[in-house]
């Protein structure tokens, strides 16, 4: 059967396709398709972290320009040892001429936007004769909020010693910046005793021992447990860094003892009230009992007031019995409230750990602790 030109061309394409599949299965490399614009893929991605360094700020006494340049160079060199991109001060000023005087959050955010930096570094040196104070901050490039800082001081020293302080500060910030690519900020909390509730900015996160992700930034960490003094700390969380906190909780001086003592107190109160009732009966005028059948001194009515005058006993035992009974009831009520709080806290923690399934427009979500 004769083969037409079109049929022959189709057969050639089919044979080429079969050959390509066969060579790929045999381990023979097959050329991948190139991008439509002809550009080649290098396989490299832009660095996730980029730090823009502002010009060094000197406050107080004047500093020679050579010393200022030397300290700036030490800061840049210290940060360039990290695994992230650094934008030196001269390049920052070229893109944002007002960078030298930038200090508030809005201005720092504008520097991050102008340079494309994820973070902004600002160093301030206060000079008083030969005394120096150094503060280096690391701010978020999106909102300009300070997320880390390094401070130090030096008395009666020279520029070389200040340069060493800058090296140490740069190392501190470099460690934090290197950790940014490792994931979100993580909080690990341990307490003695365990089971304390962990709150971050007033929101219950769980109970100790606790280990979970948190939002970066400065937040208030609170640890509370029934019967123990509540502890609060202000903690700054940084992306990629595990923040470990440990608490030794102290007991609250309790005004009321535990539940068993409530029953003991009620028992003592009932006994006191019963004693008061018995002696009230014995003290009645119509009851004329004598101790051993005799009376040391009878009154004109033939009674023995020195033996059976029970007013003081009745009054004392009645007051003691009523007080003990009231105390016992208060202890039992207080214990019941504490037990109720524990049950509610346990139920809330269980509910937070429960997995929730949700379906949204084009998405399916699972929420909870796994």
310 vs 323: CA distance, rounded Å:
20
Q: What is the dihedral of CA 248, 251, 260, 269, to 10 degrees?
A: 170
Reduced to 3 states (helix: H, G, I; strand: E, B; else coil), residue 16 is helix
- With respect to CATH, is domain 185-248 assigned 3.40.50.970? no
Average of per-residue pLDDT across 84-89: 92
Mean pLDDT along residues 317-327: 85
Nearest-angstrom CA–CA distance, 106 and 109: 5
Section 353-358 average pLDDT: 51
On whether the CB atoms of residues 117 and 96 are closer than 8 A, the answer is: no
Query: Pairing state of beta strands 242-248 and 185-192?
Result: parallel
CB 196: neighbour CB atoms within 10 A? 24
Least confident of 87-96, 210-219, 317-326, 346-355: 346-355
**pLDDT at res. 254:** 58
* Nearest residue to 179 via CA among 76, 49, 54: 49
φ/ψ of residue 33, rounded to 5: -70, 140
Of the ranges 257-271, 334-348, 352-366, which is most confident? 257-271
* Three-state secondary-structure class, residue 217: strand
Packed helices 311-353 and 259-282: angle between N→C axes, nearest 10 degrees = 160
Instruction: Identify whether the C-beta of residue 76 lies closer than 8 Å to the C-beta of residue 84.
Output: no
CA distance 165 to 135: 10
The confidence band for 87, taking pLDDT boundaries of 50, 70 and 90, is very high
Q: Which fold has domain 50-182?
A: Rossmann fold (3.40.50)
User: In CATH terms, are 50-182 and 185-248 the same topology?
Assistant: no
Confidence of residue 225 (pLDDT cuts 50, 70, 90): very high
Long-range contact set of residues 362-365: C-beta below 8 Å, sequence gap at least 24: none
Q: Give the pLDDT mean for 40-67.
A: 78
Q: Name the DSSP letter for residue 99.
A: G
210's CB contacts (< 8 A; 6+ apart) are 187, 188, 189, 198
* Per-domain residue ranges of the chain: 50-182, 185-248, 259-292+302-352
The pLDDT confidence band at residue 42, using thresholds 50, 70 and 90, is very low
**What was the pLDDT predicted at 263?**
82
In this prediction the pTM is 0.44
**Cβ atoms of residues 207 and 197 within 8 Å:** yes
Strand ranges, E, within the chain: 50-53, 57-60, 85-87, 119-128, 131-140, 146-154, 185-192, 197-200, 203-207, 210-214, 217-224, 231-237, 242-248, 356-360, 363-367
Out of 54-68, 100-114, 350-364, least confident range: 350-364
Lowest mean pLDDT among 12-16, 178-182, 189-193: 12-16
- When pLDDT is averaged across residues 231-243 and rounded to a whole number, the result is 85
Tokens of 93: 């000023």
Average pLDDT on 82-92 reads 91
Give the pLDDT of residue 305: 59
260: Cα separation from own chain's centroid? 37
The residue ranking higher by pLDDT, 227 or 334, is 227
**Given a cut of 70, is residue 175 above it in pLDDT?**
yes
| pLDDT at 361 exceeding the cut of 60 | no
CB 133 within 8 A of CB 58: no
Choice between 121 and 364, residue whose per-residue pLDDT is larger: 121
Please identify which residue in the block is written with the tokens 């608490």. Answer: 247
Reported confidence tier of residue 8, pLDDT bands at 50, 70, 90: very low
Question: Pick the residue with more confidence: 36 or 47?
Answer: 47
User: For the ranges 15-24, 191-200, 237-246, which has the lowest average pLDDT?
Assistant: 15-24
- On average, the pLDDT of the chain sits at 77
């Amino acid at each position: 059967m004769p083969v037409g030109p079109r049929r022959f061309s189709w057969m050639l394409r089919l044979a080429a396709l079969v050959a390509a599949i066969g060579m790929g299965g045999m381990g023979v490399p097959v050329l991948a398709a190139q991008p439509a614009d002809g550009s080649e893929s290098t396989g490299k991605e832009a660095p996730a972290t980029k730090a823009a360094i502002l010009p060094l700020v000197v406050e107080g006494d004047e500093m020679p320009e050579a010393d200022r340049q030397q300290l700036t160079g030490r800061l840049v060199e210290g940060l360039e040892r990290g695994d992230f991109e650094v934008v030196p001060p001269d390049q920052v000023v070229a893109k944002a001429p007002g960078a030298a005087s930038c200090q508030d959050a809005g201005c720092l955010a504008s520097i991050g936007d102008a340079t494309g930096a994820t973070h902004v570094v600002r160093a301030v040196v206060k000079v008083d004769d030969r005394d120096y104070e150094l503060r280096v901050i690391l701010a978020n490039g999106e909102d300009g909020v300070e997320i880390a800082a390094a401070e130090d001081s030096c008395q009666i020293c020279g520029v070389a010693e200040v340069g060493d302080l800058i090296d140490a500060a740069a190392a501190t910030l470099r460690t934090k910046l290197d950790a940014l690519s490792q994931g979100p900020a993580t909080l690990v909390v341990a307490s003695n005793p365990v089971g304390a509730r962990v709150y971050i900015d007033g929101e219950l996160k769980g109970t100790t021992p606790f280990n979970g992700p948190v939002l970066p930034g400065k937040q208030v960490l609170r640890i509370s447990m029934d019967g123990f003094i509540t502890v609060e700390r202000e903690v700054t969380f940084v992306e990629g860094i595990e923040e470990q906190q440990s608490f030794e909780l102290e007991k609250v001086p309790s005004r009321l003892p535990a539940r068993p003592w409530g029953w003991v107190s009620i028992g003592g109160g009932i006994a006191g009230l019963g004693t008061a009732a018995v002696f009230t009966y014995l003290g009645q005028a119509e009851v004329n009992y004598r101790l051993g059948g005799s009376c040391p001194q009878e009154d004109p009515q033939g009674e023995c007031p020195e033996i059976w005058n029970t007013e003081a006993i009745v009054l004392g035992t009645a007051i003691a019995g009523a007080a003990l009974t009231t105390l016992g009831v208060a202890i039992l009520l207080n214990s019941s409230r504490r037990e109720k709080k524990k049950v509610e806290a346990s139920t809330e923690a269980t509910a937070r750990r429960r997995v929730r399934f949700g379906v949204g427009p084009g998405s399916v979500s699972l929420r909870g602790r796994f």
